[in-house]
Chain A
Amino acid sequence: MDLHEYQAAELLARYGIPVNRGILARTPEEARAAAEQLGSRVVVKAQVHAGGRGKAGGIRLADDPAQAEAVARQILGMDIRGRTVRKVLVAPAVAFEREYYLGVVLDRDARRVAVMASSAGGVDIEEVARERPEAIVREHADPCLGFQEFQARRLAFRLGIEPDLVRGFAALARQLYQAYVDCDASLAEINPLVLTRDRTWLALDTKVVLDDNGLFRHPDLAELRDPEEEDPLEREARLAGISFVRLNGTVGCIVNGAGLSMATMDAIKLYGGEPANFLDIGGGASAQRVAAALRLVVADPNVRSILVNIFGGITRGDVVAQGLLEALRQVEVRVPMVIRLVGTRQEEGRRLLEEAGLTVVDTMEEAAQRAVAAAQSQ
């Protein structure tokens, strides 16, 4: 789950990290008031779950409250990578000497949490990793002991940070690591972390992404979810406990299992179609879940055909079929539907579906081909 910058800043400030605190505004007038309150030159920043805000023009300086209002008027409502900006953060503009990057992530390959730092701050760190990997230094936290002071100091010295600034940098790095661990984050970063003209450290921009699987033990953090940032269908899916990712194609997919869902999408593409979504209904394939999945898929106006691919396995084929029929009584489907069903008692399941006039096929390949053909002839 992504947090907004203003939420991340608030969270990290609780760990003692000096952040450039701003004021959230939802209207240009509020932005003006915020700038008046701050009483300085300000930066107005789009609060939206999308990268590349700066390049898209979503971060702008303003010399006075009137300009802050004007700039906010331009940013609010702006589209950044498919997301509409609904809030801005108004923060003091800061003059600084140098910019750094500081981040905590899970290093999957090493099976450890990594703390990374770079003197190439203020730019996309993934770009730095690709083009100048030597500009990034990292330390792995010990799985039992955590991230030690000496490791934090080592990061600082390797970046050439002057001795009088090392202690402050190390403290910050350890605070960021602590926040990451305490909150079950999957990313916590400060970019840029700046050295101001009076030689103090300040986090100018912060980003925190939380591990969805950790939210059950952080109800306070779970409440930070911004429903305005979610695709309405994806939100509905999440509340129904269905894994769903909306895509741009025309063949709607209802599948059980994540790997099989991806393989089904790939098969659609292989046969010349485009999947409209990723959808994993999870285990069981009950009528209720299938109905919820059908509602999501038919709500997408791009969908021209639906492919249902259920590898029932332990779940009996006739039970899955009855679930599907029950779901079809609840949800009106106006596009052709192709069903592929495997499981114990699949023959009984198939007969039930065929008696109801539905197209049932034997293999995933045939199902994908037929669903693609149906979508293209619509």
Chain B
Amino acid sequence: MAILVDASTRLLVQGITGREGSFHTQQMLEYGTNIVAGVTPGAGGREVHGVPVFNTVAEAVAATQPNASFVAVPAPFAPDAILEAAEAGIPLIVCITEGIPVLETLRVYHAVRERGVRLIGPNCPGLISPGKAKVGIMPGFIHTPGPVGIVSRSGTLTYEVVWALTRAGIGQSTAVGIGGDPVIGTSFIDVLELFQNDPETRAIVLIGEIGGADEEAAAEFIRRHVTKPVVGFIAGRTAPPGRRMGHAGAIISGGRGTAAEKIAALEAAGVPVAERPAQVADLVRRVLEGV
């Protein structure tokens, strides 16, 4: 099963002729993702790594019927690219772009929700269902298929946890990077719900960080609706208040959004929280054996 992306995924890459778009198209093709089309306005008729390029998303949809889009377009143009994909009826849009003004993301967030479209990101590494499809920029080789679903606000930290799981012989159903911005299309709760309903996923790892209260909301959701075991990790125990730690959304403001609050909320919901990334693998092994 896995969630969101699998062997039936037909991917469109927006910004396919750009440096990032072209590089990751090649990487995703090598992983086995079925990329059916690319879009770069003005580059219609070309091919990138054998993938046909169109001027507009509507043309690409008419010709190739993609059911997901990967947006690798620079920040000034990314909101427009997301809206173009949503308007063309693509149900899943993954945007890796960092640096989009938050008020733009806010506008896009409400517009895609209204159209029933799922946006993942922005400022995220994308997602991968190991052995099935990769719609993102993560290194494929660190993953292995298995029963653990992962949802994370981070990129390389997620790789770290995945790598620890893989080395411990524990595979993953799907790993979803939801992004490090203050406003993101898909929240922890959205992904937790999908994992709860995915028969292949037997345990869930939630990787959060300082800033906002999405981890607290997730803890409440877990308490009420998630019956599968969940293991947590929260980055930023040592982060000072009032300073943005790399991610636009990673900031303790007004005394809110600390790691301590998030860890307490998760633990109160019965979620064991690891002290270091590699420890996640031990905790997952324990909960899997307990199942």
How many Å lie between the Cα of A111 and that of B110 in the bound state? 9
Chain A interface main SS type: mixed
**B138 proximity list for chain A (CB < 8 A):** 313-314
Closest to B139 in A: A313
Task: Give the segment of A54-62, A64-72, A188-196, A255-263 that binds chain B.
Answer: A255-263
Q: Is A243 in the interface zone, CB < 8 Å from B?
A: yes
**A181 proximity list for chain B (CB < 8 A):** 103
- List 5 tightest A-B contacts by C-beta distance, closest first: A259-B154, A258-B246, A257-B156, A259-B157, A313-B139
Say whether B110 contacts A144, CB under 8 Å: yes
How many Å lie between the Cα of A247 and that of B99 in the bound state? 24
Q: Is A130 in the interface zone, CB < 8 Å from B?
A: yes
**B247 proximity list for chain A (CB < 8 A):** 258-259
Q: Is B159 in the interface zone, CB < 8 Å from A?
A: yes
Q: Is B137 in the interface zone, CB < 8 Å from A?
A: yes
Q: Is B194 in the interface zone, CB < 8 Å from A?
A: no
- Chain A, residues 96-113, CB within 8 Å of chain B (1/0): the string is 000000000010110111
Say whether A184 contacts B103, CB under 8 Å: yes
Q: Which of B76, B163, B209 contacts A262 (CB 8 A)?
A: B209
**A135 proximity list for chain B (CB < 8 A):** none
- Asked, given contacts A109-B213, A247-B240, A344-B139, whether A261 binds B246 with beta carbons under 8 Å apart, the answer is yes
Q: Is A270 in the interface zone, CB < 8 Å from B?
A: yes
- Chain A, residues 77-116, CB within 8 Å of chain B (1/0): the string is 0000000000000000000000000000010110111000
Say whether B246 contacts A243, CB under 8 Å: yes
Q: Which of A144, A212, A261, A262 contacts B248 (CB 8 A)?
A: A212
How many Å lie between the Cα of A37 and that of B172 in the bound state? 71
Task: Give the segment of A12-20, A213-221, A287-295, A322-330 that binds chain B.
Answer: A213-221
Q: Which of B237, B244, B255 contacts A130 (CB 8 A)?
A: B255
**Chain B: minimal CB distance from A214 (Å):** 4
Say whether A214 contacts B103, CB under 8 Å: yes
Closest to B184 in A: A111
**Chain A: minimal CB distance from B274 (Å):** 10
Say whether A111 contacts B109, CB under 8 Å: yes
Q: Is B183 in the interface zone, CB < 8 Å from A?
A: yes
Q: Is A343 in the interface zone, CB < 8 Å from B?
A: yes
**Best-buried of A257, A259, A314 by chain B (most CB within 10 Å):** A259
How many B residues touch the partner, as a band?
35 or more
Say whether A262 contacts B245, CB under 8 Å: yes
**Best-buried of B107, B217, B245, B246 by chain A (most CB within 10 Å):** B246
**B245 proximity list for chain A (CB < 8 A):** 243, 245, 258, 261-262, 278
- Asked, given contacts A181-B103, A311-B159, whether A258 binds B276 with beta carbons under 8 Å apart, the answer is no
**B246 proximity list for chain A (CB < 8 A):** 243, 257-259, 261-262, 278, 280
**Best-buried of A106, A214, A258 by chain B (most CB within 10 Å):** A258
**B207 proximity list for chain A (CB < 8 A):** 259
Say whether A143 contacts B107, CB under 8 Å: yes
**Best-buried of B156, B235, B259 by chain A (most CB within 10 Å):** B156
Q: Is B158 in the interface zone, CB < 8 Å from A?
A: yes
- Asked, given contacts A126-B255, A129-B254, A365-B278, whether A258 binds B139 with beta carbons under 8 Å apart, the answer is no
Q: Which of A109, A211, A263, A275 contacts B160 (CB 8 A)?
A: A263
Say whether B157 contacts A257, CB under 8 Å: yes
Say whether B106 contacts A143, CB under 8 Å: yes
**B183 proximity list for chain A (CB < 8 A):** 106, 108, 111
Closest to A126 in B: B254
Q: Is B86 in the interface zone, CB < 8 Å from A?
A: no
- Asked, given contacts A262-B245, A280-B246, A314-B137, whether A113 binds B238 with beta carbons under 8 Å apart, the answer is no
